[in-house]
């Protein structure tokens, strides 16, 4: 049996929650290692739209709670990190848009939604003069605003943090290559990680499950209740072709009827990621029906030239969150503590700093005087690749959808 490597914290999962926490803990002096089962920054993080929300969705639901105020401060936290003025240093992360457009159509429910949004947002959106409206919105929008929500490339966010910590991030086969040893008090005493003929035996003081959906099975592996997690499915739409760069939300009543973010794929083609209400109602539709519905919705809220010449794809993904009554979206990041195991769900990408702060608060003071971690022990172990965004992964695209 290999000699145990003493750690302060062993993290599972390199999505937004795991990577942000890893960066914070290492800067504070915790001896930390992160285990990833698939790709770096993967799961929901790379599939997300990357909008650094300041509370719009909570405002639309009329939730002006303390938590809604917490999220309102998050765009500032990120803005400083993205500018390299605060830690983690995210100055290498690509910012796809500095602001989002927010618009409503002439329908009553759309107008009403905007009244609610403007009343509740901490930073009121700025009304744009018609000359400054994006061309695609000129015909259908009744009013367009600018909202102080940056949009990042989730892939480059994952790459930025992963690059800074490659020496302590290991790719593991969680099913066949990881074993937990639980002591009499039900705490995780050792985590045995096998790689071919080689193995590491970690003795972590704390274990953090930050594995998104993977938290469910990890909790079962260490004898904890898995019914504390909920999944909320989405069916997202991708369009590529002659599309302008655009990020924004069309508001309708208490919903974002359409949320669009844009990027460029590896071949240099413009790509739109379309979510909001479309991705919620799309859960019960097959790809062809969802694309037809999306085209109708886009035609109703904006003008896109040659919409029928675009190529389309869809992808399904579940949001993994702490369970709530009625399965609603939680209004904050959630951290559960069971013995020496924390389970983390940030609820939103933008709440990753908050999730990290909650864990660190529970950990207390960083350890003093402990020897530094010897990372040479696993220097030839494989490192996970950085996850690819959905439009650069293996999805079937079609004009005919």
Ligand X SMILES: Cc1cc2nc3c(=O)[nH]c(=O)nc-3n(C[C@H](O)[C@H](O)[C@H](O)COP(=O)(O)OP(=O)(O)OC[C@H]3O[C@@H](n4cnc5c(N)ncnc54)[C@H](O)[C@@H]3O)c2cc1C
Using CB under 6 A, list all residues that contact ligand X: 12-18, 35-38, 42-45, 47-51, 53, 174, 210-212, 214, 218, 234, 236, 275, 317, 319, 345-350
Dist. CA 376–CA 364, nearest whole Å: 28
Task: Return the axis-axis angle of helices 154-164 and 16-27, rounded to nearest 10°.
Answer: 30
Return d(Cα 193, Cα 174) in angstroms, integer. 8
Give the torsion sign (CA, 32, 37, 42, 47).
negative
CB of 240 to ligand X, least distance (A): 17
Burial label, 205 (beta-carbon count in 10 A; 0-12, 13-18, 19+): middle
Question: Please, are residues 246 and 134 in contact by the beta-carbon 8 Å criterion?
Answer: yes
278 vs 235: CA distance, rounded Å: 8
Contact (CB, 8 A) for 105 and 300: yes
**Cβ closest to ligand X, residue 177 vs residue 241:** 177
Verify cis geometry, omega within 30 degrees of 0, for the bond prior to 217. Answer: no
| Nearest to ligand X of 14, 110 (CB atom) | 14
* Complex with ligand X: residue 53 or 255, whichever CB lies closer: 53
**HSE (CB half, 13 Å, CA atoms) of 9?**
31
The distance of closest approach from Cβ of residue 288 to ligand X in the complex, given in angstroms and rounded to an integer, is: 20
Instruction: Report the residue number, 315 or 397, with the smaller CB distance to ligand X.
Output: 315
For residues 258 and 277, give the distance between their C-alpha atoms in angstroms, rounded to a whole number: 6
Query: Residue 353 or residue 368: which is nearer to ligand X going by CB?
Result: 353
CA quadruple 84, 87, 93, 99: dihedral, nearest 10: -70
CB 163, min distance to ligand X, A: 15
Task: Return the DSSP state at 189.
Answer: E
Q: How far is the CB of 150 from ligand X (least distance, A)?
A: 10
Residue closer to ligand X, measured from CB, 189 or 316: 316
Q: How far is the CB of 142 from ligand X (least distance, A)?
A: 25
At closest approach, how far in Å is the CB of 49 from ligand X?
3
Quick one: CA torsion of 29, 35, 39, 40, rounded to 10 degrees? -10
Q: Which is nearer to ligand X, 211 or 302 (CB)?
A: 211
- Least distance to ligand X from the beta carbon of 71, Å? 9
């Amino acid at each position: 049996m290999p000699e145990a490597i003493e750690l302060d914290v062993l993290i599972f999962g390199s999505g937004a929650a795991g990577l942000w926490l890893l960066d914070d803990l290492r800067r504070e002096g915790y001896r930390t290692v992160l285990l990833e089962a698939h790709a770096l920054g993967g799961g929901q993080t790379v599939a997300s739209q990357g909008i650094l929300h300041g509370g719009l969705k909570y405002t639309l639901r009329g939730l002006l709670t303390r938590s809604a105020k917490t999220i309102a401060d998050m765009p500032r936290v990120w803005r400083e990190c993205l500018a390299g003025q605060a830690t983690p240093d995210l100055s290498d992360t690509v910012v796809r848009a500095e602001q989002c457009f927010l618009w409503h159509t002439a329908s009553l429910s759309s107008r009403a939604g905007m009244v609610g949004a403007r009343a509740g947002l901490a930073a009121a959106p700025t009304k744009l003069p018609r000359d400054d409206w994006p061309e695609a919105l000129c015909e259908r929008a009744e009013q367009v605003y600018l909202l102080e929500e940056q949009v990042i490339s989730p892939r480059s966010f994952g790459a930025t943090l992963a690059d800074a910590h490659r020496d302590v991030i290991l790719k593991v086969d969680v099913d066949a290559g990881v074993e937990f040893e639980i002591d009499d008090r039900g705490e995780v005493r050792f985590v045995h990680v096998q790689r071919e003929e080689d193995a590491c035996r970690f003795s972590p003081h704390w274990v953090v499950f930050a594995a998104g959906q993977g938290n469910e099975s990890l909790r079962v592996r260490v004898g904890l209740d898995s019914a504390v997690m909920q999944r909320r499915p989405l069916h997202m739409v991708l369009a590529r072709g002659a599309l302008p760069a655009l990020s924004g939300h069309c508001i309708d009543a208490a919903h974002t009827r359409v949320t669009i973010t844009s990027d460029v794929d590896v071949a240099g083609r413009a790509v739109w990621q379309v979510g909001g209400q479309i991705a919620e109602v799309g859960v019960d539709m097959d790809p062809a029906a969802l694309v037809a519905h999306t085209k109708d919705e886009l035609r109703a809220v904006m003008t896109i030239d040659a919409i029928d010449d675009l190529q389309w794809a869809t992808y399904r993904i579940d949001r993994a969150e702490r369970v709530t009554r009625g399965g609603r979206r939680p209004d904050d990041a959630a951290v559960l503590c069971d013995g020496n195991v924390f389970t983390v769900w940030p609820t939103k990408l933008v709440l990753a700093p908050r999730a990290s702060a909650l864990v660190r608060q529970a950990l207390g003071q960083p350890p003093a005087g402990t020897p530094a971690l010897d990372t040479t022990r696993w220097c030839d172990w494989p490192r996970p690749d950085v996850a690819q965004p959905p439009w650069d992964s293996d999805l079937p695209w079609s004009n005919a959808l």
